[in-house]
Amino acid sequence: MSSIAYDDFAKVDIRVGTVRAARPLEGARKPAIILEIDFGPEIGVKKSSAQLTVHYTPESLVGRQVAAVVNFPPRQIGKVMSEVLTLGFPDDGDSVVLVVPDKPVPNGGKLF
| Closest residue by Cα to residue 18 from 104, 111, 112 | 104
- Is the residue at 1 inside a domain? no
Q: How many structural domains are present in the chain? A: 1
Tens digits of per-residue pLDDT, 68-112? 999 999 999 888 899 999 999 999 999 999 999 999 999 999 999
Tens digits of per-residue pLDDT, 33-72? 999 999 999 999 999 999 999 999 999 999 999 999 999 9
What b/e sequence results for 71-83 when a residue is b if at least 16 CB atoms lie within 10 Å of its CB, and e otherwise? Answer: eeeeeebeebebb
Query: Residue 78 is part of which domain span?
Result: 6-98
Neighbour tally for 20: CB within 10 Å:
14
Q: Is residue 14 a contact partner of residue 66, using CB atoms and an 8 Å limit? A: no
- Greater confidence, 44 or 25? 44
Helix/strand/coil for 18 = strand
- Is the residue at 77 inside a domain? yes
- Is the residue at 18 inside a domain? yes
Any idea what the CATH number is for the domain that residue 27 is in? Answer: 2.40.50.140
- Is the residue at 112 inside a domain? no
pTM, entire model: 0.94
